[in-house]
Structure formats: C-alpha cells, structure tokens
C-alpha cells in the first residue's frame, strides 16, 4: 500500500475510534456561511471542524459538540474562526514561481482571525443534534442545536444564505 494511502487509512481509523469512544451526547459541529469570504477554519470551545466552508455554503463538519444534559441560563460557546479568500480563480499557474509566491502572499494577507463568545439558545425539552454555527456579515455569528436542517420550516434560524455585505459594520 502506498504511504499516502496508509496515512489516510490511519486517519480514518483514528476518527472511527474517536467516534466509538465519545459520549452518547456528543454530536457534530457544522457551519453555514452567509458571507462572501470563505471560512478557512473554525472551532467551538477548542474543538475544530474538519473542513473549510466556501462562500454562501454549508459544511465544515467535525466532532464533537458536547451539550450539557440540561440547558441553563448563561450557557455559551466560544467560536474561533478564520476568514479568507474563497476562490483560486486568479491562480497564476505554476510556470512562474515568483507569481505563485506573490499570489500566495496576497491570499495570506486577506486572512483574518476572529473569536466570539455566543449564547446557546434554550434547548430544554428538545433533542440536541450537535451545534450549527452561522457565520454572518460583520463577523457576527448565531448558533443552534436544532435537529432540523437549515432551510426547513422548523429550523430556528431563518437568515437567508446569501446576505448582502453592508458598506460598514457597527463597532
């Protein structure tokens, strides 16, 4: 077996073992990006998602969000995330390495790190199905533990996926 395949297999095996060992109430992290920037990475209370999220998309799944058995007033999560370019459409190709380096520097210069503590909505009497983080313009976020999918009538966050970027954001 080629070395890369062995590494991929080991990673999947490790994730499988983690899924088996996690508590029953551990659930997936998911993100919905309502902005024109890509979410290049995010974490909730230090637990990382496993994928980036493109502009105006959902994704980022990861393990795990452990909701307390009972919701209580003041329950919060800390979300850390990084935004950046969401496209490689202006990639110069690999013919001229100096252009590749300049393109990479431009991409890196656009990255921004963010962190916010946000209240978890009351889920008393409801099943908790992980945590979905909604990334909104002006570096705002909303979270939900809903088991319904984004866009279904029962889903609690009704924010449209593609929001216009405001000219300026409140300070």
Sequential pLDDT tens for the chain (171 residues): 555 445 544 444 444 433 433 333 568 889 999 998 889 889 999 888 877 888 888 887 787 888 999 999 999 999 999 998 766 677 777 888 888 888 777 777 677 889 999 999 999 999 999 999 999 999 999 999 999 999 999 999 999 999 888 888 887
- Residue 149, token pair as written in the block: 């999918």
CB atoms within 10 A of CB 56: 16
Residue 122's CB: how many other CB atoms inside 10 A? 12
Cis peptide leading into 98, omega within 30 of 0? no
Cα separation values, 52 from 48, 58, 86, 119, 133, Å? 11, 9, 9, 23, 13
Taken in order of first residue, the domains within the chain and their CATH numbers are 25-144 (2.60.40)
Q: Give all strands (DSSP E) within the chain, no chain letters.
A: 26-33, 38-44, 47-48, 58-66, 76-84, 112-119, 131-136, 140-144
């Amino acid at each position: 077996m080629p070395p890369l395949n062995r590494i991929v297999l080991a990673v999947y095996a490790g994730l499988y073992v983690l899924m088996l060992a996690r508590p029953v109430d551990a659930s997936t992290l998911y993100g919905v990006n309502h902005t024109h920037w890509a979410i290049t990475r995010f974490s909730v209370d230090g637990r990382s998602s496993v994928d980036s999220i493109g502009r105006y998309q959902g994704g980022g799944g990861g393990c795990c969000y452990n909701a307390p058995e009972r919701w209580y007033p003041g329950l919060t999560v800390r979300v850390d995330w990084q935004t950046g370019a969401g496209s490689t459409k202006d990639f110069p190709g690999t013919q001229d390495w100096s252009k590749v380096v300049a393109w990479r520097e431009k991409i890196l210069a656009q990255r921004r790190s963010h962190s916010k503590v946000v209240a978890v909505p009351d889920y008393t009497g409801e099943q908790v199905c992980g945590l979905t983080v909604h990334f909104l313009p002006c570096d705002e976020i909303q979270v939900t533990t809903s088991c319904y999918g984004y866009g279904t009538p029962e889903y609690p966050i009704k924010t449209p996926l593609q929001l216009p970027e405001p000219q300026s954001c409140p300070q």
